[in-house]
């Protein structure tokens, strides 16, 4: 077993992308390889083969490595519930909620979970490609660190440092990071990767030579800016993140960008679909014309519901339904559509309850036990039914008359709800649009007639993007140096 760690000068420098590309490239070379992220803070998560929960980006990297995602691959997952606190997931299971200062003190305990997970992976794989979080130069967070250099020092692994040239100031990023880490950590960084370059490489080469000479280590590669690269987002949601499709009648889907939106990767198949126009609406923005309002998942359902009301979405939905529009709620969005949300144990904040939007006759109670499962089943179509698959991640249990009119059947049980007039639908199923047949069936229920010639297969799309990324890594990164670093 060998471990190579990819760290970045900043958040979103491209660490996740480089790790995914290396996992696919090494897998294609015949290595048994696994991704590893000691600590991640993200609201996009996935259910693992062992029934745990890890960050979405790590699950994508597992797909790149052609292995099943496992909870050992992301020992610590922090899911923000407020600006100062987060739910802590340890080895795939809920440990509890902590304030930021409390978690900072808890990291010495979490370190053991990180090391145990890494040891188990090292017993099963030839190579581990680890990913840091944020920047190793956050001097205020260095004590007890388990996300970056603290982990690298503990397992004695080499590090490659990624800088994003598209942001500007890449040489300051790289040299500044080296200046702020300790001497032993500095020596652990074996080279640099410059990411998202566009332009004439000849203009960059004097800077590369200067950097290599100044810091006495090589630039292993300059990765080009890949136009149109579309992979599952780790966490951030851009209101500009949409694709423009031309031609034909479009189904206009509008999504409120909830402050604690979770698993917004549910929207990716809709962004990619050539017959769907997806609009994300942020705070104080007007709502565009819509055929469908989609309420996404939320890590804090009651707080996001209060935000919806403060932004006037309750009235927007009422007017939308009055004119014949449709509404779909996913997970937390599904809960919001009910009549009441109760949180007696304070799972997502202070104990208490709140009225829902009242469009579905059901109530939801938050419970300490989180449901984490991959599921499959059937959903009705115009010609019969088709298969559907996805995953559930929620701590709410819903009951009520609305559930007697289910949206689908999963594992032999009814799931979701549909209003009597068919305008309002809800489900706990994440990834419901990922399969091409299920996507078309759901879009037909939402008002878009099926069309065989223009479908979206998200899994096939991911595979093409991962292969494209691996091709880029092979072409622009010194893979021989990478192989020497992993022994």
Residues labelled as active-site residues: 331, 430
- Residues paired with 3 in a beta bridge: 128
Tell me how far the alpha carbon of residue 431 is from its chain's centroid.
Answer: 12
DSSP string, 143-196: TT--SSHHHHHHHT--EEEEEEGGGS-HHHHHHHHHHHS-HHHHHHEEEEEEEE
CA 228 to chain CA mean position, Å? 18
State the Cα–Cα distance between residues 126 and 124, nearest whole angstrom: 7
CB 309 within 8 A of CB 373: no
Q: DSSP character for 430?
A: B
C-alpha–C-alpha distance, residues 280 and 46, integer Å: 22
What is the distance between the terminal CA atoms of the chain, rounded to a whole angstrom?
A: 9
Residues 6 or more apart whose CB falls under 8 angstroms from that of 191 comprise 160, 161, 217, 218, 219, 220, 478, 481
Q: Is 41 exposed, middle or buried (0-12, 13-18, 19+ CB in 10 A)?
A: middle
Structure-block tokens of residue 61: 């990297």
Q: CA nearest 291: which of 312, 273, 313, 276?
A: 276
Instruction: Give the strand order in the sheet containing 39-41.
Output: 39-41, 76-80, 85-90, 93-99
Q: Which residue is listed with tokens 């780790």?
A: 234
Tokens for 309, please give them. Answer: 């009301």
* C-alpha to C-alpha distance for 487 and 483, rounded to whole angstroms: 6
């Amino acid at each position: 077993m060998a471990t190579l760690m990819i760290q970045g000068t900043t958040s979103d420098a491209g660490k996740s992308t480089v790790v995914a590309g290396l996992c696919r490239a090494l897998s294609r070379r015949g290595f048994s390889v696994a991704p590893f992220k000691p600590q991640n803070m993200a609201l996009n998560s996935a259910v693992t083969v062992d029934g745990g929960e890890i960050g979405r980006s790590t699950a994508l990297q597992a797909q790149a490595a052609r292995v099943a995602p496992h909870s050992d691959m992301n020992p610590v997952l922090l899911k923000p519930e407020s600006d100062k606190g987060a739910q802590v997931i340890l080895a795939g299971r809920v440990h509890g909620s902590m304030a930021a200062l409390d978690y900072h003190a808890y990291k010495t305990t979490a370190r053991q979970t990180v090391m145990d997970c890494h040891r188990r992976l090292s017993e099963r794989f030839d190579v581990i490609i680890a990913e840091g979080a944020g920047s190793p130069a956050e001097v205020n967070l260095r004590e007890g660190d388990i996300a970056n250099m603290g982990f690298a020092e503990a397992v004695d692994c080499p590090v490659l440092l990624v800088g994003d040239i598209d942001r500007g100031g890449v040489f300051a990023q790289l040299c500044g990071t080296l200046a702020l880490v300790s001497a032993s950590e500095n020596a652990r960084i074996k080279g640099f990767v410059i990411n998202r370059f566009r332009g004439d490489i000849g203009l960059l080469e004097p800077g590369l030579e200067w950097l290599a000479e100044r810091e006495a280590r090589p630039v292993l590669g300059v990765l080009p800016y890949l136009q149109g690269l579309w992979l599952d987002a780790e966490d951030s949601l851009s209101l500009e993140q949409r694709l423009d499709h031309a031609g034909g009648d479009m189904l206009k889907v509008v999504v409120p960008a909830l402050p604690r939106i979770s698993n917004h990767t549910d929207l990716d198949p809709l962004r990619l679909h050539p017959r769907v126009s997806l609009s994300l609406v942020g705070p104080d923005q007007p709502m565009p014309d819509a055929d469908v309002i989609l309420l996404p998942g939320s890590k804090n359902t009651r707080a996001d519901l209060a935000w919806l009301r403060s932004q006037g979405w309750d009235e927007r939905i009422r007017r939308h339904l009055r004119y014949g529009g449709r509404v779909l709620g996913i997970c937390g969005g599904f809960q919001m559509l009910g009549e009441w949300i109760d949180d007696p144990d304070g799972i997502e904040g202070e104990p208490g309850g709140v009225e829902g939007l009242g469009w579905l006759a059901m109530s939801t109670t938050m419970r300490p036990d989180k449901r984490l499962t991959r599921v499959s089943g059937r959903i009705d179509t115009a010609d019969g039914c088709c298969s559907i698959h996805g995953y559930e991640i929620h701590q709410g249990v819903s009951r009520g008359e609305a559930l007697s009119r289910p949206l689908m059947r999963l594992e032999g049980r009814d799931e979701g709800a549909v209003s009597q007039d068919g305008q309002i639908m809800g489900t706990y199923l994440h990834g419901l649009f990922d399969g091409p047949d299920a996507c078309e069936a759901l879009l037909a229920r939402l008002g878009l007639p099926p069309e065989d010639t223009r479908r979206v297969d998200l899994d096939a799309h991911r595979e093409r993007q991962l292969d494209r990324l691996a091709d880029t890594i092979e072409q622009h990164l010194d893979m021989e140096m990478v192989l020497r670093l992993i022994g």
